[in-house]
Structure 1
Amino acid sequence: MSTPGSGPYGGQYPPGRPAQFPPQGYNPYGQGNPGGGYGYGYAPPGRLADWPSRVGASLLDSLIMAIPAIAGVLAALVIDGNKEELGAGGGIAMIGGFVVAFGIWVWNRIVQQGRTGQSFGKKVAGLRIVDAHTGQLIGMGKNLGREVCAQIFNQLCVLNVLWPLWDDKQQTWHDKVVSDIVIKS
């Protein structure tokens, strides 16, 4: 137990204020704090990204993945023509297109987004993913969890993508699971 005048700031809590507890104007909820105290209010580490920007970034990311997948399907149609069943050459072309699309997803959404906070779409839209509490990048591990949760939630319920429209931190469910936010960079 500390005595008045002792504490982490050498006798002052916080710096420049007399030692008292709770501090004058203290509001644990951080809202409407008249004394400018040191409550637990939430202040994002940047301006939160709006929903249309997030959707646009996601569409760009989907488009760059769709290109090789569509190219694989078109190559399969060219190779096999009007056959009823897909032949070996067409099958290889189609599988190749989907493998390349998956590789692009891994590189763009897991590696790049984990390292920089931005996928290609987020970079174009001027968005960045950061930890909701520290404002730091979330890294590849948390980002992988975020993307896996996003795939699961998006397949189960369309509300996941709509959730930022009414959420106070403009988070989707997968943002909430890993405790991240998307901000304007």
Structure 2
Amino acid sequence: MTTPPDQPGQFPPGQQPGQFPPGQPGQYPPGRPGQLPPGQPGQVPYGQFPPGQPGQYSGPGAYNPYGQGADGFSYAPPGRLADWPIRVGASLLDSLLTLIPSVAGVIAALAINGNRDELGAAGGVAMVGGFLLAFLVWVWNRIITQGRTGQSFGKKITGLRIVDQTTGQLIGFGRNLGREVCAQIFNQLCFLNVLWPLWDDKQQTWHDKAVNDIVIRT
């Protein structure tokens, strides 16, 4: 044990002014200055967040609450918001996908009867079958696939994805179904629904706002 100094201001033998004795408060442990010993409170590996703490990423596409806010968000979205033209392009590709069986049904009906004005039973079945197949394709594409992955056929081709604007996660089957039903209703009531992303700060349509989602570029 080091013998305490007899007089104020006197340092033990071999100790320089400003130097802490071994094991005394104020001395940094071996390693980089400012580094806390393993297991001490406040130690966090560089670039990581403790489990369950704000800022921790929960998976691909998760939000970073400490990101730079933009476009009306107080945090950084998990991707760049999709511009209106590319959203229109994705919708057109989806429409083309459902148009193919409809046209095929009409062509088959005309081939059977030769005259659309005098459509027979066989031609009628072919035409109705084409429209029914188109509806099933729409359900598979816009409801099932988009609800499971956040991407329809058109969105996958153009690199878009639908996510929750609060969590950045997929919105799921139920909310996606509500989104598509709202889209059909709003589009029939007012064409402004399609144009709304042009001036909206989050580039959302009305049906996006109805289910609290955003469309991003992946």
TM value normalised by structure 2? 0.66
Letter matched to residue 153 of structure 2? F
* Counterparts in 2 of 1:85 and 1:51: CA distance versus 1, 3 Å: same
Aligned: 1:156 with 2:189? yes
Q: How many residues align?
A: 152
2:205 equivalent in structure 1: 172
Equivalent residue in structure 2 for 1:133, among 161, 166, 170: 166
1:1-185 alignment, distance < 5 Å? 41-82=74-115, 84-185=117-218
After superposition, the C-alpha distances for 1:103-125 in whole angstroms (9 at most, x for unaligned) are 10000000110010000100000
After superposition, the C-alpha distances for 1:125-163 in whole angstroms (9 at most, x for unaligned) are 000000010000001100000000001111111100100
- How far apart are the structure 2 equivalents of 1:87 and 1:120? 35
After superposition, the C-alpha distances for 1:45-91 in whole angstroms (9 at most, x for unaligned) are 22100001100000000001000001101111111112633211011
The runs of 5 or more residues in structure 2 that have no matched partner are 1-40, 42-48, 50-67
Percentage of matched positions with identical amino acids: 75
Q: Retained in 2: the 8 A contact 1:149–1:174?
A: yes
1:166 deviation in Å?
A: 0.2
1:101 deviation in Å?
A: 0.4
* Counterparts in 2 of 1:133 and 1:85: CA distance versus 1, 3 Å: same
- How far apart are the structure 1 equivalents of 2:203 and 2:115? 49
- How far apart are the structure 2 equivalents of 1:162 and 1:121? 18
**SS of 1:84 mapped into structure 2:** helix
TM value normalised by structure 1? 0.77
Structure richer in helix, relative to its length: 1
- How far apart are the structure 2 equivalents of 1:118 and 1:177? 18
Q: Retained in 2: the 8 A contact 1:47–1:183?
A: yes
- How far apart are the structure 1 equivalents of 2:142 and 2:128? 21
Q: Which has the higher contact order (CA 8 A, sep 6+)?
A: 1
The runs of 5 or more residues in structure 1 that have no matched partner are 1-9, 16-29, 32-39
Structure exhibiting the larger radius of gyration computed from Cα positions: 2
- How far apart are the structure 2 equivalents of 1:162 and 1:42? 26
Q: Retained in 2: the 8 A contact 1:45–1:134?
A: no
- How far apart are the structure 1 equivalents of 2:202 and 2:116? 53
1:44 deviation in Å?
A: 2.2
- How far apart are the structure 2 equivalents of 1:129 and 1:106? 17
CA RMSD of aligned residues (A): 2.2
